Amino acid sequence: MVAVTGTGTARTGALAASARRSWGRWVVLLAAGVYFLVPLYAALRFAVQTPTGGISLGVFGGIPAQQGFADAFGLSINLALVTTLITLALMVPTAIYVHLRLPQVQRLFEGITILPIVIPPVVLIVGVLQVAPAALKGTPYLLALEYAVLAMPFAYRSLASGLQAMNLKTLVEASRSLGGGWFTTAFRVLLPNLRSALLAATILTVALVLGEYTMASLDQYETFPVWVVVFDQENAHVSVAVSLLALIGTWLLLILISLIDTRRGHRASTPGES
Amino acid sequence: MTIPATSRDTTTPTTDIATARGAGGALVEFRDLRRSFGTTRALDGLTLTLQPGEMVALLGPSGCGKTTALRVLAGMETVDSGQVLVDGGDLRGVPTRRRDMGMVFQNYSLFPNMTALDNVAFGLRVRGRNNAARRARAGELLDMVGLAERATRYPHQLSGGQQQRVALARALAIEPRVLLLDEPLSALDAKVRLQLREQIRTLQTRLGTTTLFVTHDQEEALSMADRVGVMRGGRLEQIATPGELYARPSTAFVAEFVGTMNRLPAEVVPGGIRVLGQVITPVDVAGRSVGAAVDALIRPEGLTAEPVEHGSGIVAHKTFLGGTTRLSVLLSEELTVQVDSPSVHAARLTIGESVDITARDTQVLVADPTGPSTTR
């Protein structure tokens, strides 16, 4: 009887502690929500406010017609495409090679790939200028090389997680033992199974290019983010509206990655039939 | 040891197996293979011949070199020296994809982006077979492994056993010169393993494909293979038919690795040994002087337990195995022996009962003493 009472008391205590922890979580979540959402609300309020104090969504509809918008956005889209191609062309074979043949240097390589995050953009620009082909210097596509370096941590991480999720060595050996050459193995076996990782790497790279300001500004090219800042002096309402749309677009892309990852995880854990 | 260890395959059978199975397979020869990884010798002069259509299992503890040998044959590993020949042709420099060897891996190796049918057809597609031909052949193979109705399923929709059966079909679809099985059953549960074991053996026998099978599971090796090679330290300790390996192990290592073996303290006497208070002759004690302390290696079925008052041991445990019951008999604080007794007889013995242990006139090996070892 004593033991039963003791157990009951302990259980009540545990429930109370759990409820306190649950409240704590909600408080933190609420604080974070306020911290992030209030500025966004303020920006939205500012963007849709008319000079007479009313509210109009017309500012969003007028964005494409703004001077310089189409050129800047077009340049950023071009840069996003070129950067993605360069990044995937460099990172996919490298990540596969490192995971397959040099697993002992995986950690070191991961360390190297995060360097662009800690190295100042000016240093990266100078570094890229040293090795960039002369034909690219003086064109906005020089930025694509710089962005490829900047995208490396995100692209490599996405690919590495995709490679770790698959049984790379066995799949390659199975393909080779069945007569598959490297081309067949890469395009029929590896890349189709890396689809989610490739998509994630692509989306992150595109998001990075569409949002990068410092390098473009230092190189004096008017990309989309640079245009937003410059246009801010002309029409702050439009500039804020564009920024909000860009932010929402990036969020949607990230949610897409998350959904794809969830689906992949669910697929991997679906039990087979006996 | 009374019989020196050898890395050579001295028991290569004649071509009976090939003749019996229609000679569909290739002749495979390993000649003095050596391979080191740093200071570890994975292969230390391995010589082995697989007759056409034969299934040979390589059995041994982790790190004995069995998987390295298989991977060398597949072309996934290189050797420091030695030769691998298939039908007399040296495979040196021949890449994996040109060796025509079907392989089933320990890990699930089906391509996740392809259906079971596409997985089986992959090797044929690579070989340029047209769509209709490869689908027909893949369907045939899936039917052969009993999975025709699962042809459109993806690997994640199949159980582990089904995936390995598809992998087997995929390996056989290319009509390989040699089938390589790298512990294909180790990830499966006991019941599925047993079913698949029989299925692999039946298919292999039917197709007559020379097969090299690597496993650490002695039951699997003994029940499936024509011959079993026991490896240790990169060397072939002994290769023989399962029956011969069990009944006449050539070394103490093989004796203790294959099946259950009692290790009992003994003393060399002229022409034999004294163990459990009785003299057993003849026993090969070459090179040992009379009076020397040795260990006698005797299988559980080579011992009998009779109930007596004040006997040499006490029944500590009984394990019912069907027709026989395995008794654990405590001879001293440090020495327990396993005795296989007919279940009818063992039913009369109770736990804690005093018994006398005697050795039957049976094959006994002697080994250097290793202290109070009991059963392996």
- Does the beta carbon of A266 lie under 8 angstroms from any beta carbon of chain B? no
Whether A180 has its CB under 8 Å from any CB of chain B: the answer is yes
Which chain A residues are within 8 Å of B160, Cβ to Cβ?
272
pLDDT at A124: 85
Tell me the mean pLDDT in the region A164-174. Answer: 92
Q: Does B112 touch chain A (CB under 8 A)?
A: yes
The percent of residues above 90 in pLDDT, for chain A, comes to 36
Tell me which residue has tokens 């002309």.
Answer: A234
* Token pair of B194 as six digits: 């047993």
Question: Residue B112 has what pLDDT?
Answer: 93
Nearest CA in chain A to B104: A174
Q: Kindly identify which residue of chain B lies nearest to residue A269, measuring between CA atoms.
A: B156
Radius of gyration of chain A (CA): 25
Residues of B in contact with A178 (CB under 8 A): 97, 102, 122-123, 126, 170-171, 174
A66-106 pLDDT, tens digit each: 888 889 989 999 999 999 999 999 999 999 999 999 989 88
Does the beta-carbon distance from A178 to B98 stay under 8 Å?
no
Which segments of chain B does DSSP mark as H helices, in order? 16-21, 66-74, 116-126, 131-144, 160-173, 190-207, 218-224, 242-247, 252-257, 343-346
Tell me the C-alpha distance between B38 and B40, whole Å.
6
Would an 8 Å CB–CB cutoff place B38 in contact with chain A? no
Per-residue pLDDT of chain B (376 residues; tens, 9 = 90+): 333 334 455 555 544 443 444 446 899 999 999 999 988 899 999 999 999 999 999 999 988 999 999 999 999 999 999 999 999 999 998 999 999 999 999 888 999 999 999 999 999 999 999 999 999 999 999 998 889 999 999 999 999 999 999 999 999 999 999 999 999 888 888 888 888 888 899 889 988 999 999 998 888 999 999 999 999 999 999 999 999 998 888 888 898 888 888 999 999 998 888 988 888 887 777 788 888 999 889 999 989 999 998 888 999 999 999 999 999 999 988 899 999 999 999 999 999 999 999 888 677 888 888 754 444 4
Residue A192: CB atoms within 10 Å: 14
Instruction: Determine, for residues A171 and B109 on separate chains, whether the beta-carbon distance falls below 8 Å.
Output: yes
With 90 as the cut, is the pLDDT of residue A117 above it?
Answer: no
Tell me the shortest Cα–Cα distance from B103 to chain A, in angstroms: 7
Domain ranges across chain A: 2-56, 66-269
3-class secondary-structure state, position A111: helix
pLDDT of the residue at A52: 80
* CB proximity list for A71: less than 8 A, separation 6 or greater: A222
Q: Which of B157, B159, B174 sits opposite A178 (nearest CB)?
A: B174
Six-digit token string for A35: 């911290």
Q: Give the bridge partners for B238, in sequence order.
A: B230
Contact B224, B55 (CB under 8 A): yes
Q: Which of B108, B123, B192 sits opposite A179 (nearest CB)?
A: B123
Count of other CB atoms within 10 angstroms of residue B281: 13
Written as one letter, the residue type at A55 is I
Model pLDDT, residue A185: 95
Please answer whether residues A55 and A47 qualify as being in contact, where contact means their C-beta atoms are separated by less than 8 angstroms: no
Residue B191's pLDDT is 82
The confidence score (pLDDT) of residue B19 equals 43
Nearest of B12, B204, B2 to residue B102 by alpha carbon: B204
pLDDT given at position B24: 66
* C-alpha span between B106 and B94 (Å, rounded): 24
Residue A188, pLDDT above cutoff 50 = yes
CATH topology of domain A66-269: MetI-like fold (1.10.3720)
Determine, for residues A178 and B109 on separate chains, whether the beta-carbon distance falls below 8 Å.
Answer: no
Residues 76-105 of A with CB under 8 A from B: none
Q: Please state the pTM of the whole predicted model.
A: 0.78
- A10 has pLDDT over 80: no
**Taking the CB of residue B4, how many other CB atoms lie within 10 A of it?**
7
CB B210 within 8 A of CB B177: yes
* CB-based contacts of A64, cutoff 8 Å, min separation 6: A70
What ipTM is given for this predicted complex?
0.81
Q: Which helix (H) or strand (E) holds A265?
A: helix A236-269
- N- to C-terminal Cα separation, chain A: 47
Put simply, whether A182 touches B (Cβ < 8 Å) is no
Q: Indicate which of B72, B77, B97 best probes the interface with A, i.e. most A CBs within 10 Å of its own CB.
A: B97
Mean residue pLDDT of chain A comes to 85
Pair type for strands B55-59 and B227-232: parallel
B109/A173 touch (CB, cutoff 8 Å), yes or no: yes
